[in-house]
Every structure is written in structure tokens, then in C-alpha cells.
Structure 1
Amino acid sequence: MSVHVAPVTSSTIVVAVDVGKTSAVLLVTDASRHRLVGPLEFAMNRSGLTGAASGALGAVPASGQVKVGVEAAGHYHRPVLDHRWPPGWEVLELNPAHVAEQRRVQGRRRVKTDVIDLEAITELVLAGHGHPITDRDVVIGEITAWASHRRRRVATRTATRNQLLGQLDRAFPGLTLALPDVLGTKIGRLVVAEFADPARLAALGVSRLIRFAATRDLQLRRPVAERLVTAAREALPTRDAGIARQILAADLVLLANLDHQIQATEAALGSLLPRSPFATLTSVPGWGVVRVSNYAAAIGDPQRWPGPRQIYRASGLSPMQYESAHKRRDGGISREGGRVLLTV
């Protein structure tokens, strides 16, 4: 948790918001823990949030310093963070794990209600905790979105490749033995696209295959061409080869589309990273655009972390340590954290 810029004073007013998918609850409290408004439930739409904000504004004294505390809830809380709150109000995002810990401190570890969560949010804000929303979050949010988009497309591409190779084993048995990395080479992609029927490749022959590849700007060495033609001549036909070639053609179109989307995603990440606080990481050997972007998506705004020790711990890499009565026992890497980077 990072400490926000404006200090908490006796005139501080906390607007705590607990967000759900379709509705949210708001509680306005002063620094003395006196409730001024709420708990007030409202619909998660423009009119509902505007009305709740107006109700909170009416209860705030003219000299009040307002801090809006919002518990992170996946993506459901984003409209509340991005809402046009009254000028001068500071908007803070709170980690749900910290809110749960605050409930435990209050003796309500196993009791979770909207009101209790609002009280926990209020206490955290009054204690000076929370992550202020800044303009830099917009860039980091874009990096996070593109990195997640790329991760999903890569997973889909991997599944598509596996499906494609399965169909290829039915359409052209033995090709992967002659060319192990079929989809990772240009000549492999060419053979899959143009010669899924091994009879066509066998009839073409070695010399004509080399010339065929040359017309498509591919330099094919004769030993490789001979292996491919031999594999085509030795291929054992299967009864479902025809339907396999049809599905293979459809998978190739999908694979090309996925490759294009992944390249476009990496281009977008490459243009965003220089505007982010993670730009210098690309100068580290072995750290390219994709790796840095995935790291940035997991970390978020670095200012919300007190230091690298907390990031290491949140990554699930905290060594276990137990000490009692001057006896200390250290263990291996614990599982503490682990998924925290995905939720904060």
C-alpha cells in the first residue's frame, strides 16, 4: 500500500464505496467516525452513481477534505474510479486483500457484509492508505489490457496449432518426421498450405518444388526438398484425409489471423512502453517488449509499492520464517501472495 499525498486531518471526510456487479453501497464518514450519509445503496449506472455522489456532496462541510475510497473488484469498480467526482476530491483504490485484513483486525474475519466492508475501507483511508488514481494509470491500464489480450491470443494460437498438426497427421502422414518444426518454418507453412495432399507433392518432384518455392521468395535447399518429396511418396493414405484437409485449410486461415493480431498487439505494446515507468527495463538483456509488458501488467503503478521487497512477497516468492522464544526456523519459498499481483 502506498501513502497518498494529501495527509489525513480532522476535517477529512471519507466516502467509502463497496462496488458490486449491478449495485454499490456508499458510506460517508468524518474523521471522528461519525456517519454523515448511508449506508446508501445505488444502482451501478450513470444516474445511480451521480445521485449517490450528489448525496455525499450535500453532506460534506465547506471546509471538508474529501477522500473517496473504492475497493478494487476486478473491473466492476473501474466506472466508480473514473467517475467525474467533485473538484478537489481525492480518489483512492484499495486492495481487497487489505480490506479483508482490516476486517480481521476489527475482529470480523469471518463476517463479511457491505457495511463491514465500508467500515474497513473507511479505516484504511483514515489510516493514510490507498492508491491514488493518476494519469499514468491510463497508460498502465492500456498496457495491461493489451498484455492480457496477447496472452489470450497466444493461448488460442497454441490450441489452434495443436489442432492443425492433428489434422496434418491425417492429411499428410509422415510430414512432421521429414520437417519436425512444420509451422515454425516458411517452407513448412508453404507445404501445409499448398501440398496438404502428399500425392501433389510427390508428382511435383524435387526440382519443380525448389522452383515453386523460389517463385514465393523461399530458398529451398535440395536435401530438404528431397526429404519432403520422399515423405510425400512414402505417406500412407487415410480414409479421413479429405475432411482433414478441409479442416486444415480453415485452421490455416484462423492461424494467420491470430498471428496478425498478436503482431498488432506487440506493436501497440511497443508504442506504449516508452510512455510508461517501465521503459528502461527493455535495456536489460533478455527483456523484450513482451516480457516487460507482462511484468508491467502484473505490477501496475510502481508507486503503490513501498519497495521491491513487497513486490517479491506479492509474487509468491517470500521465504518462510518462524521465530518463537529466540528459536528461529527458516524454510523454503512460500506460497504467500502468488495471485496478489493479478488482483491489486
Structure 2
Amino acid sequence: MAGSGLLKQSLPGSALVVAIDPGKVSHRVWFSTGDVGLVEEPRSVPSLRPGLDEVTATIRRLAGTQAPVVAIEATGALHGSWVRALEERFALSVRVFAPSETAAARAQLGSRRFKSDDRDCAALTYLARQGQGRPVVADPVEAVRGAVRYRRGLVAERKIAQQRLHDQLNVLCPGLSAPAGHARVLELEDSSGQAVLACAAAFAGRAPTVRSLQARAPGRLFDSNARYWVQRWKTCLPPPADAQVRAERLGRSLCRWQAIRADTAAVEVTIEALLAATAGQVLTTLPGVAVIRAASFAAFSLPVERFPTAEHLYSATGLAPARYQSATINRNGRISRTGLAEHRDALMGIAWGLSRYCDPFIDRDRELRARGMAPIQARVALARHACRLTYRMLKTQQPFDEQRYRQGRHPSER
């Protein structure tokens, strides 16, 4: 408990401060006390187990019976494993600092525009001696956040893969995959779309028969739909001279796209199971908000006790307007865009779902657009109401009740 008692208090001069600036291959480490300064020369240690063992042995040799203070900068996934290991070996002695805090400390030390690993360690030491930093606490939604981020990456990859498939198909069969508004759109995720792609790869762009198209469909493909695509295929221009090579590439691209779809479906099952064990499960009772939207927002909002009010949570998403105040001037600008883009997108997704399936939000969206707001402006305004609603649900753990929500709304919002 000795380490936790030093939080928010200036350290005594004899306390050992270990400043660690994480890197991908090696970490920069400083060992210092207030009385002596640097007790050993700064060193770079491997980010693997031998480096951790070396730092641990040095801390035990220099600190003796007194509890050390380990200051480490939070840099994505680089610091996580070291924070967990050091917290196990030196309980309640590890403090975590955001990169913005380190940059501010460098500015106070006169080196904001000159960044180096040693300057970062000096800034971490400066902050730790003032009693700053956050203790290491268990993250109840770390697994959910990891799964949500992994799915977000898969969705981005799937979008690029689908665009590539359309491009490759248009070269093999010019005009077959028409854009929206020109003809029937070829939906790649439907049975007809996957059957067309499989036939294009198998026959090097030549038109198949209805039977061949139906045989390669992963699901049911009606005769009328199959005949439509075969007839349209026959009206296309002939494939290029290198059609065989392009067809092989299309086949490989199709396999990659199908693998991404399967991986996305698997991680969505995992997200559903993880969300059920958190307080974010209550968000699935909202109309238009299913497991994925609820998990995407809960992953960056829990534990909700971090935010004193719903306005603090809304500001953390970056959707709150940037504010300029000087003397008698008070001016609001565009959205601040602070915080994580993933958090912001999740709240906007919830606002979109509510504006489509929840009557109070549908009415509010209609009112905002009648005032002349653009669709995106109306959705940002709805996101503020959605944030208040989700904050209250996460705090009380009560499912959504439309009648109670209508009664509890502020008169100015009706």
C-alpha cells in the first residue's frame, strides 16, 4: 500500500523513480532519486523478458525496502505487457501517463519542440515526483474493446476487397457490374453476386449457362434471377486477351473476401458473448441498436463512472462543439473531434439507429430538418440526446422504456 499512498503527493527525495519510455524493440529507462539525481546511467533495454528481468533486478537493488515509483508512458499496445508485469512485481507502484501529459511536461522543461527518448524520460520523472499519474486498474471491457477494434479493421478490409472485386469483374466482363442507378446492382453478398464471381473466375469472363450459375450459388438462386444475369452477361463486350490470368487473380481475391466475411462473422459471435458479461448489454434494448452498435459504444464508455455527467461523456466523444472564450467573447465552433474516432463513430451509429426505429428520435429528427439542418447536422444533434439516454441507462442498468423516456424529457426537447 506504500505506493498508492504517494499518488497526488510530492515524493520524498529518497524515493526511487523509474521512468520508462516504451518502444517497439527497446525501452528507454531512467533510474533517479530527488536527492542524488540519476543513480545510474540511462539505458535501453529489450522489450522482451530479458529486458524486464534486468529492470526488475535493478529496481530491487536500488530501492531496497522502500517502495519505488515506476512511471511509464501509455503508448498503445507497447506498454500494456510491461505495465501488467511490473504491477505484479511491484504492487501499487506503477503510474501511467498519457502522451499528452508527457508533451506538456516537456514544454514546462523547455524542450517541447525537441523530442527524444531521454527527454520523455525526464518529463516522466518530473511528473512522477509531483505525485501525478494514474494507478493501474483492471479494465472490465478490454476484451470487448479488442474485439470491436478487430472487427472495425475487418470491415475496412472487406470494403476495399469488395471494391477490388467490382473492378476486376468489370475488366473481365465490361458492364456486368453496373453502378446504382444504371441497371440492377450486383450485390456481392447475395447468392447471385457470389455465383457471378465464381463463374467469372471459372470461365475466364465468358458467359455461363443458367445451370452453371445456379450450381455455384452458395444459396438459393431463382431461375428468373439466373436467366437475367446470363442474358445480361451475353450482351457484354468480350473479355480482354489476358482474361485467363485475370480470372485467376479474381479467384484469389474472391477467396480472400470470403475469408474476411467468415472472420467477421466469427468475431461478431465473440462480441455478443463478451458484451453479455458487461454493463453495456442494456444498450441492446434500444430500438435500432443491436449487439455491434451497443458493443462499439460500451467498449469506449465503460466504466461509465469515469464520466461525472452525460455532458462529460459527450465531450469525450469529440462531438461537442469547440468553444472559444476571451473576456466578453463566447463563441462555439465546429465539433472538437477530441477523443477517439471509434468512440465518436459508435455514438453516431446509435443516433442513426434511433432516428430510424425510435419514434421520439424520429420526431426530433424531423423537427431538426424542418429548421433547415443538413442530415449530418441533425444526426450530431440527435447524438447528444442519445448520449444522455445511454449514459442514464448505463448508470441505472434499466432497459429502455419509450413511455418513460417521453415523460422524462426536458420540455425544451419536446
Q: TM-score range by the shorter chain?
A: 0.7 to 0.9
- Across the aligned residues of Structure 1 and Structure 2, the Cα RMSD in angstroms comes to 3.7
Secondary structure, in 3 states, of the residue corresponding to 1:175? coil
Amino acid in the other structure paired with 1:146: A
1:53 and 2:56 matched? yes
2:237 counterpart residue number: 236
Match of 1:190 among 190, 195, 220: 195
- Runs (5+) with no aligned partner, structure 2: 344-414
1:110 and 2:113 matched? yes
- Cα gap change, 1:35/1:56 in structure 2, threshold over 3 Å: closer, same or farther? farther
Q: CA deviation at 1:95?
A: 0.5
Aligned length: 328
1:70 is displaced (CA, Å) by 0.7
Correspondent of 2:29 among 19, 26, 31: 26
- Larger RCO (CA within 8 A; separation ≥ 6): 1
Is 1:168 aligned to residue 173 of structure 2? Answer: no
Q: Within the alignment, does 1:155 sit opposite 2:156 as a pair?
A: yes
Shift of 1:169: 2.0
What amino acid does structure 1 have at the position aligned with 2:284? T
Is the alpha carbon distance of 1:217 and 1:101 closer, same or farther for their aligned partners in structure 2, counting shifts above 3 Å? closer
* Residue 98 (structure 1) shift: 1.2
Change (3 A) 1:286 1:102: farther
TM (norm. structure 2) is 0.65
| Residues 125 and 333 of structure 1: CA distance in aligned 2, closer, same or farther (over 3 Å) | farther
Cα offsets for 1:8-51 (capped at 9, x unmatched): 35666543222233333334456x67647345314123233222
User: Does the aligned pair in 2 maintain the 1:209–1:225 contact within 8 Å?
Assistant: no
Which residue of structure 2 lines up, in the alignment, with residue 319 of structure 1? 321
Q: What's the offset of the Cα at 1:261?
A: 1.3
Question: Superposed, which structure 2 residues align to 1:179-258 within 5 Å?
Answer: 179-194=184-199, 197=203, 200-201=207-208, 203-204=209-210, 212=214, 218=220, 220=222, 222=224, 224-240=225-241, 241-258=243-260
Q: In the TM superposition, what whole-angstrom CA distance separates every residue of 1:95-121 from its partner, at most 9, and x where no partner exists?
A: 111111122234443344444433432
- Contact 2:30/2:43 (8 A) holds in 1: no
- Cα 1:34–1:77 change in 2 (3 A) is same
Query: Cα–Cα, structure 1 residues 227 and 302, in superposed 2: closer, same or farther, change >3 Å?
Result: same
For the structure 1 residues 261 and 215, does the alpha-carbon distance in structure 2 shift closer, same or farther, using more than 3 Å as the test? closer
Three-state SS of the structure 1 residue aligned to 2:39 is strand
User: Take 2:107 and 2:282, find their aligned partners in 1: how far apart are those partners?
Assistant: 39
Query: Deviation at 1:183?
Result: 0.4
C-alpha spacing 1:170/1:7, structure 2 compared with 1 (3 Å): same
Question: Aligned pair 1:136/2:139, yes or no?
Answer: yes
Relative to structure 2, which stretch is displaced further, 86-95 or 331-340?
Answer: 331-340
CA contact (8 A) 2:318 2:336 kept: yes
TM-score, normalised on structure 1?
0.76
Q: Which residue of 2 aligns with 1:283?
A: 285
1:40 match: 42
Identical-pair percentage: 26
Please state how far the C-alpha of 1:260 moved relative to its aligned partner.
Answer: 1.0
Q: Aligned pair in 2 of structure 1 residues 164, 28: CA closer, same or farther (>3 Å)?
A: same
Counting strand residues as a fraction of each chain, which structure ranks higher? Answer: 1
Task: Give the structure 2 partner of residue 330 of structure 1.
Answer: 331
Partners of 2:335 and 2:206 in 1: CA distance = 57
> Equivalents in 2 of 1:229, 1:42: separation in Å?
65
CA deviation after TM superposition for structure 1 residue 180, in Å? 0.4
Instruction: Classify 1:277/1:125 alpha carbon distance in 2 versus 1 (closer, same or farther; 3 Å).
Output: farther
State the Cα deviation string for residues 300-335 of structure 1 (Å, max 9, x = none).
Answer: 86666666555544544343333333x123131254
Q: Provide structure 1 residue ranges, at least 5 long, that are not aligned to the other structure.
A: none
Separation of aligned partners in 2, 1:185 and 1:293: 26
1:73 aligns with 2:75: yes
The one-letter code of the counterpart of 1:109 is R
Moved more, 294-303 or 41-50: 294-303
Name the SS for the 2:76 alignment partner: coil
- Change in CA separation of 1:306 and 1:123 when aligned onto 2, cut-off 3 Å: farther
